[in-house]
Amino acid sequence: MKQAVSIVLVLLLGAFIFTALYFADSSPLQFKPYGDADLSGRVSQGYVDKNVTADAASEEPAAVVYGETKNAETGSANIVTSVVVNYRSFDTLGEVTVLFVAALGVGLLLSGKRRRQEAAFQPSFILKHGVRIVLGIMVIFGVYLFTHGHLTPGGGFSGGSIIAAAVLLLYVSDNAFKAKVKAFKIAEGVAGSLYVVAGLLGLALGGYFLYNFLPTGVVGDLLSAGIVPIVYILIGLKVGSEISGVIAGFATEEEAL
């Protein structure tokens, strides 16, 4: 079954690449032979003509007013996020892939049947109960960071790392604690695939991979900036589960045979 699915996927991908390369006139992608594509006219002129703040109709760029400006180009109040998840979203996809490969390497090295490493210290009363108090706050703050990534500083990477730090605290405070590594793996895979699916949706609806196809709304609203918050939530879940999985790998050791 798995093999059949993978063969079908490979054939589909091959057919897609073949048609995009050899029937360029009819395909929406218009891959041209090497050297013929007018990239400077398409990309550079696009950036020169760009009017980030106002509608395309008005000539002068208008001032962005927090909570009032509508339909700005990216719609995210945090300019770093608008670069990371909108203009350069493909770079971020590569960055997430690098993290995935790193986690994969750790997973390959530290695989097999595993049990908890023995700690040299017993967690004290303050550590045990302090962690219980702090843990919820940490997870909520991590979720807040990546849901509000387009409004305030922070985003998917830092929010996910805070969640991973919460998992690390769980390991430190309890000598018998073992996280469900399988759940991490599922969350990681699903979030990563959904990021690519969001990119493909942009390709289908807007013509470019990872195109921001949703309405951007009012600058400063929680539900604004189109797919930026959605993508950042996916990145947050992916990074959080990935680093948690790495920590779980470090905190356990291989069972003696």
Strand-pair category, 252-254 with 114-116: antiparallel
Stretch that binds other proteins, among 75-83, 89-97, 103-111, 227-235 (CB under 8 A): 75-83
Contacts of 99 (CB under 8 A, 6+ apart): 238, 239, 242
Q: 164 vs 191, which CB is nearer to other proteins?
A: 164
Contact letters for other proteins, residues 108-137 (x by CB under 8 A): ---------xxxxx----------------
Q: 54 vs 164, which CB is nearer to other proteins?
A: 164
Instruction: For the chain, state the CA radius of gyration.
Output: 23
Binding-site member from 106, 162, 191, 233 for other proteins (CB under 8 A): 162
Stretch that binds other proteins, among 26-34, 41-49, 107-115, 159-167 (CB under 8 A): 159-167
Angle between helix 228-251 and helix 125-147 axes, rounded to 10 deg = 150
Contacts of 160 (CB under 8 A, 6+ apart): 142, 146, 235, 236, 237, 238, 239, 240, 241, 242, 243
Q: Is 204 in the site for other proteins (CB under 8 A)?
A: no
At closest approach, how far in Å is the CB of 92 from other proteins? 13
Rounded Cα gap, residues 229 and 26, in angstroms? 34
Q: 198 vs 243, which CB is nearer to other proteins?
A: 243
Q: Is 233 in the site for other proteins (CB under 8 A)?
A: no
Q: 148 vs 192, which CB is nearer to other proteins?
A: 148
Q: Is the dihedral of CA 195, 197, 201, 207 positive or negative?
A: positive
C-beta pairs of 205-208 under 8 Å, 24+ apart in sequence: 207/28
Token couple for 48: 């020169």
Q: Is 158 in the site for other proteins (CB under 8 A)?
A: yes
At closest approach, how far in Å is the CB of 81 from other proteins? 8
Rounded Cα gap, residues 86 and 69, in angstroms? 18
Q: Is 154 in the site for other proteins (CB under 8 A)?
A: yes
Binding site for other proteins (CB under 8 A): 78, 80-81, 117-121, 145, 153-155, 157-158, 161-162, 164-165, 168-169, 171-172, 243, 247, 250-251
